[in-house]
A and B are shown apart, each in its own frame.
Chain A
Amino acid sequence: MNEKHTISCLVENHFGVLARVAGLISARGFNIDSLTVSATEDPTVSRMTIVVDADAIKLEQVKRQLDRLIDVIGVTELSEGKFIDRELLLARVKNVGNEHVELERLVQSTPGAKIAARSPGSCVVEAIGDTNMLDQFVEQLRAYGIEKLVRTGRVALEKE
């Protein structure tokens, strides 16, 4: 049975490492939901947070295949409940008439959301939260007419 899994991968901060990781995952036929690369406390090391949709056996394969890459220092699967994950969302929403007030209200009542920019015809809403929360927020935003939307993909860290 397929499920979403979050893999956290410490890699050498060399050029070409992203190509290796992405190439491996696609060559093995795994589907990536999201992949983020970011700096860590150590400038020579980056962290990749990869969300894949896979069953348990395939997941084990992805992890082992990743671990086989020389530039991958460590691979851990973050297990449910033991980690914090966040995404950032930016959405440009049409902003006309009375809806404006309602949109302001929605944004104010949503933790982690705010209006980041306003212009005469539209505004850009930003929101930070976990994937579920952002999914719900997107649904609520639809009523106001989303013109464009972008999400960073998940970053995650173990709680302890």
Chain B
Amino acid sequence: MATTKGAKILVECLKREGVEIAFGIPGGVNLPTFDALYDSGINVILTVHEQGAAHMADGYARATGKVGVCLATSGPGATNLTTGIATAFMDSIPVVALTGQVRTTVIGNDAFQEVDTIGVTRPITKHSFLVKDVRDIARTVREAFFIARTGRPGPVLIDLPVDTTVAEAEFLYPEEVTIRGYKPKILVDAAIDSIDQANIERAVEAIARSRRPVIYAGAGVIHGGASAELLELAHKTRIPVTTSLLGLGGFPETDPLSLGMLGMHGFEYTNYAVAACDCLIGIGARFDDRVTGKPDEFAKQATKIHIDVDPSSINKTVLVDIPIIGDVKAVLRTLNALVKPADTGAWLARIGEMRKTYPLIYRKKDKVLPQVVVQQISAATKGNAVIATGVGQHQMWAAQYYQFNHPRSLITSGGLGTMGFGLPAAIGAQFGRPGEVVWDIDGDGSFQMTAQELATAAQHHLPIKVAIMNNQFHGMVRQWQDLFYQSRYAQSRLNPVDFVKLAEANGCVGIRVERDQEVRPAIDRAMRVSDRPTVIDFLVESKEDCWPMIAPGKPHDQMLGTYESLKDAGGVPQHRRISPDEEAKLSLG
């Protein structure tokens, strides 16, 4: 019987899963795996920190829809991955993490670099495996990828004790995976359960009856590849579409029916529309508290329809009237075949009015405004770039002022809100989509959490562009301190850092921007750099606030920083998204 080393079996299985790239750092117990990968044809990217590896795998997965792979050694390597794994878990991103583990014979003995990785990651993975027998490697890898990418996707961890990877076994590849406890609704043409079929029919009636319907689309539309079906539903029924932060890009914002983002920092008119709607159709969205505010006040008058692949997200925070569990694409196809146009003429006209009455607004300041930077990036890339972000005000401005038109164009940590996600996620995205323009719109606080990965980007000549909104504050924290803590800036001030020097030290182009007229030329210059990363240090207004905002626990029609409150204080309204003639067409409809 011919036998193969465990690590070789592992690598062969990765190749059969279509893995082309993996991110990670070697160490004592995963050396056999790295050695087997060395000449395997899989592109293994050495990162500076394992958190970077996990975010790169995540960014790659979000940008491509494929499974991202990251590797770390046992103990500190594995614990460094955890922030990245939790980030992927909260946003349902398919990632497979391969961690080394101490020999099976010493597990539990507090051996050198031993951590109970399975235990530590149990609440932040969709599933995890400890492989104690070399003969289980092939089946485990098969199952791990299957679990990661199907149903509601998520991260899966495989913990590989070093003796398992050096042991030999006959290589038997399981063609089929059957896991009796896991029957996701995976196939697009999967039969829809009769109960859900009945609810689809109820949904059709509810839509036909409604006069003020709104579609609320989440990341599930993007994960499920159902953007085209969503567009068809909206156009057929003439129902406007708002998206969550993670749903941005799932519906083109140039479309007259687009309402942009709702929620805590969503558009004013959008939140008003949601507050006033009589039928809310949630699609692949999870009614996150940043979206709903106070759950029992959320779209209070509306009949709520909720389409989701994950039964456990139904009725979790908001009680719905018509739940439909199933693959979002399959459900939408069925629904599209049945729905009739709703009588939404008056409603669309009212929304059109609200859109004009309550635009985004900012006040000109002496210093560069971050909102202007995002608008300029949006214009320079025509809404066709991939945008990664950190977490904070800049993330919300990116969501508000960039015009997202394509699925998988916004890469941001929505659920966990992980600062430091932007740069490594942008790197992962650029590896996945080499020919495309990738920007990281970042804050000085977030950026510094993983800034060391500039070295990784430079080493691989990635032409990513990093726009740092350098306000020398943890801006979002500072804003909350101004609002709720009498401006006591407890640890929210950041030490000024020369990011141009930091960029250059890492082999990147560094540009500093201090004035308005430098903004666009700097962006254009970054767009011309094709052989290395560019970092633009935008010295922006340090105390600019992110408006509008629903204060935590408040209903959607009680926002702070509204258009009304800012317009007389020298605010410049920012009408955006759809052109006047599209507006005209809309009122005709």
On A, residues with C-beta under 8 Å from B are: 11-12, 16, 19-20, 23-24, 27, 57, 60-61, 64-65, 67-74
Contact = CB atoms under 8 A, between A and B. Distances in A.
A23 B181 contact: no
B123 interface: yes
Given A70-B126, A70-B127, 5 more contacts: A12-B181, A64-B314, A70-B182, A73-B180, A74-B181
Interface string B116-160: 001100110011001000000000000000010000000000000
Contact of A61 (B130, B182, B315): B315
B76 interface: no
Nearest to B314: A64
A144 to B, nearest CB: 44
A160 B157 CA distance: 40
A20 B118 CA distance: 10
Contacts of B310: 68
B312 A64 contact: yes
Contacts of A61: 312, 315-316
A65 to B, nearest CB: 5
A20 B311 contact: no
B380 interface: no
Contacts of A24: 123
B179 interface: yes
B346 interface: no
A72 B127 CA distance: 11
Interface residues of B, number: 19
Given A61-B312, A61-B316, A65-B312, A70 B181 contact: yes
A70 B316 contact: no
B319 A72 contact: no
A64 B314 CA distance: 9
B60 to A, nearest CB: 24
A61 B310 CA distance: 12
A23 B123 contact: yes
21 contacts: A12-B180, A12-B181, A20-B122, A23-B122, A23-B123, A57-B315, A57-B319, A60-B315, A61-B312, A61-B315, A64-B314, A65-B312, A67-B311, A69-B127, A69-B181, A70-B179, A70-B182, A71-B127, A71-B181, A73-B180, A73-B181
B253 to A, nearest CB: 33
Contacts of B119: 19
Nearest to A66: B312
Contact of A67 (B127, B180, B312): B312
Nearest to B310: A68
B316 A16 contact: no
Given A61-B315, A68-B310, A11 B123 contact: no
Contacts of A68: 310-312
Nearest to A24: B123
Contact of B123 (A27, A57, A74): A27
A24 B122 CA distance: 9
A67 B182 CA distance: 8
Nearest to B147: A70
A82 to B, nearest CB: 21
Given A20-B122, A27-B123, A72 B315 contact: no
